Amino acid sequence: MNWNAFITCAITGAGDTVGKHPAIPVTPAEIAESAIEAARAGAAVVHIHVRDPETGRGGRDPALFREAVERIRASGTDVVLNLTAGMGGDLTLGPGETPLPLDPEGTDMAGPLERLAHVEELLPEICTLDCGTMNFAEGDYVMTNTPSMLRAMAKRVKDLGVRPELEVFDTGHLVFAKRMVDDGLIESPLLVQLCMGIPYGAPDDPGTLLAMVNQLPPGTHWSTFSIGRMQLPYVAMAVLAGGNVRVGLEDNLYLERGVHASNADLVTRAVEILRAMNVRVMDPGEVREQLELRAAA
C-alpha cells in the first residue's frame, strides 16, 4: 500500500478522440489551460502531447510544444512537466498482400534524436520513453521503438539531465527497461509507468498488474493506469499495489457513464478516491524531491 501518492494527468494524447469528446484540448493554448486546471485540481505532474491545430491529429512540432510549455511556465503554476517522446515511431503497413509501400497517412518515422528535439530545447523535468514495439489496437499500425532507437534516446536524455519515465506496456518492455538500467543508460531513481489494458499489451486484471509490479527493481518509483472505464478504478488499484496514479483525457473521456469529463474533473475525482482511502496526495515539490529531478530550464 502506498500511503503517499502523486497524481499525473495525461492531458490530451495523440489518439483519435477529438470527434468523441466536445472539448479535447487541441491547440497549445487549450492544452496549457487544461494542464493548469489539472494542476490546480491536485495533479503534481502533467503529461503533455501536442496536436496539429488544423487537423486535431497528434503531432511533434517543437513549436507546438514550445507554446504549450511557455504558457504553463508563464502562468506561475507549480507543476512538474512530463513531455512525451513517443511521437515519430508510427508505422502503418499497406493493406493485405501489399505491406509496402507504407501507408503515408498513418506513418511518421523519425530518428531517435529528432524525436527528442523538443525535449532538448525545453528541458522538462521528465520525458517519456516507450520501452518497446507493439501492435497497438487494430489494423496495420505498429508502435515502433527498436532497441537501438531506445538506447540512443536513453543516452541523450541522460546527457540532458532529464528524468525518463519508462512506459511499459507489457512484460517484455520491462525486461528491456531493466536491461537499459543494467547497461547504465538509465540513472536511479528509476521511474516507470505501467500502461495497462491497451490492446495488445498487458491486460488490466489485478494478477497481471501485480506480476509486473513484482518484477520491478527494488526502489523503483512507479505509477499505473488503465484506459476507458477502468481508469478511475485504477486510482485505487494503483495505491493498493504500492504505486502512484495517472488519470486524464489521453486515456479516458468520461467521468461517469454518459458524462464527458475534463482533465480537472478526473484529477478531482482521483483526489477524492485517494483521500477516502486515507492516502495523502503529494505536491510537486515533494515529487521533485522523491524523484531527484533536476531543475527545468
For 71-99, the DSSP string reads HHHHTT---EEEE---TTEEEEPPSTT--
pLDDT tens by residue, 34-67? 999 999 999 999 999 999 999 999 999 999 999 9
Give the chain's mean pLDDT: 96
Q: The cell 491545430 sits on which residue?
A: 53
pLDDT tens by residue, 207-217? 999 999 999 99
Report d(CA 244, CA 265) in Å as an integer.
18
Instruction: Say what the pLDDT of residue 295 is.
Output: 72
Report d(CA 80, CA 61) in Å as an integer.
21
Is 296 inside a domain boundary?
no
Has residue 273 got a pLDDT over 80? yes
pLDDT tens by residue, 106-126? 999 999 999 999 999 999 999
Look at residue 220 and give its three-state secondary structure.
coil
Has residue 138 got a pLDDT over 90? no
Report d(CA 156, CA 174) in Å as an integer.
20
Find the farthest-apart pair of alpha carbons in the chain and give their distance in angstroms, rounded.
56
Per-residue pLDDT, averaged over 176-205, amounts to 96
CATH number at residue 75: 3.20.20.70
Q: Crossing angle for the helix pair 147-160 and 171-182, nearest 10 degrees? A: 50
Is 144 inside a domain boundary?
yes
Has residue 297 got a pLDDT over 70? no
Instruction: Say what the pLDDT of residue 137 is.
Output: 77
Percent over 70 (pLDDT), the chain: 99
Per-residue pLDDT, averaged over 95-103, amounts to 93
State the residue range of the domain holding 90. 4-291
Q: For the chain, how many structural domains are there in total?
A: 1
Q: Which helix (H) or strand (E) holds 263?
A: helix 263-276
Has residue 187 got a pLDDT over 80? yes
Comparing 260 with 136, which gets the higher pLDDT? 260
Is 130 inside a domain boundary?
yes
Instruction: Say what the pLDDT of residue 296 is.
Output: 65
Per-residue pLDDT, averaged over 129-152, amounts to 94
The end-to-end CA distance of the chain, in Å, is 34
Per-residue pLDDT, averaged over 251-264, amounts to 97
pLDDT tens by residue, 5-14? 999 999 999 9
Q: Are 149 and 114 in contact (CB under 8 A)?
A: no
Is 297 inside a domain boundary?
no
Is 9 inside a domain boundary?
yes
Residues paired with 90 in a beta bridge: 108, 143
